[in-house]
């Protein structure tokens, strides 16, 4: 099992660079950030762009993997996104992982002036977005016309440092999204069941187990071994509270390791927010947590 963190882009870089460096010093496998234009309770607070933040982080770190968790079609196009990812993979020396999701409702979904897409349209777009992004990042030139996206001789030179391209970690729980993950992803991401905030903490592992079973079915339908995908759980969206103490984390991590989760991602503490956590406890979890799993 691997332990990573997600650092929200809420810090001016004079302070933010210290957080990213500290994440590397603590030994996290990867450090991600949200690819939103703003997000929920942070809507009226400082919020910087994901790709520039990751680029800056790549220049002040050496070992830790970096990535989006997640980017989406809400305000991205596969062709322009591919060029940014190719560049970031080069700057980071091949340390980039791209978390991708279908997007949701809210500010990101309407900021460009469009109406919020229905769940069906989000799934339709996602089903075109990921395959086209895959092609643009692996082929020298791509021309393709789909219902929602077009690429005309989109160039991919010199290509990604990582071969055949940067790894995709697809966030999905529905049948269509899981098929996308099974076909194109190197990892699968879940945050539990945030759509139902009333799911009690003791029920949360069963929700993940059900999602994993569906992922396995999707992989088998694609002729793929489920073990070939990393299985990532993003903390912070269920009634569970694993960051209250080291013991709480060890119990939580052990539960999900038994279910087959391979990667845990913890939100870096943000004071006076939904991600407020004691930094001392958090750092102890980072350095001691996994070693205490039996």
- pLDDT given for residue 105 in this prediction: 84
Pairing relationship of beta strands 96-100 and 65-71 according to DSSP bridges = parallel
129-147 pLDDT, tens per residue?
A: 999 999 999 999 999 999 9
pLDDT score recorded for residue 108? 85
pTM: 0.96
Task: Output phi, psi for 96, to 5 deg.
Answer: -95, 135
Whose CA is closest to 103, among 130, 84, 79, 82? 130
What CA–CA distances, in Å, run from 35 to 6, 103, 163, 185, 287?
11, 10, 23, 18, 27
Q: Which of 124, 178, 168, 120 is nearest to 146 (CA)?
A: 124
With a pLDDT cut of 90, the percent of the chain lying above it is 90
Tokens of 135: 């092609």
Exposed, middle or buried, 197 (CB in 10 Å: 0-12/13-18/19+)? exposed
Q: Assess whether pLDDT exceeds 80 at residue 215.
A: yes
Whether omega for the bond prior to residue 203 falls within 30 degrees of 0, making it cis, is: no
Evaluated on CA atoms 89, 232, 130, 51, the torsion sign reads negative
Alpha helices in 67-163 (DSSP H): 78-91, 107-110, 119-138
Q: Are 250 and 285 in contact (CB under 8 A)?
A: no
Q: Residue 35's CB: how many other CB atoms inside 10 A?
A: 28
Within 13 Å and on the Cβ side, how many CA atoms surround 119?
Answer: 7
Domains and CATH numbers, the chain: 2-292 (3.20.20.30)
CA–CA separation, 52 and 287 (whole Å): 28
- Per residue in 240-280, pLDDT (tens digit) is 999 999 999 999 999 999 999 999 999 999 999 999 999 99
Give the chain's mean pLDDT: 95
- Residue 252 buriedness (CB in 10 A; 0-12 / 13-18 / 19+): buried
């Amino acid at each position: 099992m691997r332990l990573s963190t997600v650092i929200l882009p809420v810090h001016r870089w004079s302070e933010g660079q210290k957080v990213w460096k500290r994440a590397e010093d603590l030994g996290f496998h990867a450090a991600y950030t949200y690819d939103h234009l703003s997000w929920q309770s942070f809507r009226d607070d400082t919020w910087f762009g994901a790709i520039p933040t990751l680029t800056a982080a790549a220049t002040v770190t050496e070992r830790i993997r970096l990535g989006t968790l997640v980017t989406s079609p809400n305000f991205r196009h596969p062709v322009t996104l591919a060029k940014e990812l190719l560049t970031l993979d080069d700057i980071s020396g091949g340390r980039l992982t791209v978390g991708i999701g279908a997007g949701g409702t809210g500010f990101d979904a309407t900021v460009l002036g469009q109406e919020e897409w229905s769940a069906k349209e989000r799934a339709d777009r996602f089903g075109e977005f990921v395959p086209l992004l895959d092609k643009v990042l692996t082929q020298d030139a791509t021309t393709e016309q789909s219902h929602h996206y077009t690429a005309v001789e989109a160039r991919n030179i010199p290509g990604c440092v990582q071969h055949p391209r940067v790894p995709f970690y697809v966030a999905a729980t529905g049948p269509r999204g899981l098929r996308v993950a099974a076909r194109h992803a190197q990892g699968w991401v879940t945050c539990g069941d945030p759509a139902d905030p009333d799911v009690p903490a003791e029920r949360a592992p069963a929700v993940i187990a059900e999602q994993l079973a569906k992922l396995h079915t999707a992989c088998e339908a694609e002729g793929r071994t489920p073990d070939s995908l990393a299985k990532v759980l993003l903390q912070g969206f269920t009634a569970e509270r694993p960051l209250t103490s080291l013991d709480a984390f060890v119990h939580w991590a052990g539960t999900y390791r038994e279910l087959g989760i391979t990667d845990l991602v913890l939100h870096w503490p943000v004071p006076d927010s939904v991600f407020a956590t004691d930094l001392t406890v958090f750092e102890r979890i980072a350095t001691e947590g996994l070693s205490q799993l039996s």
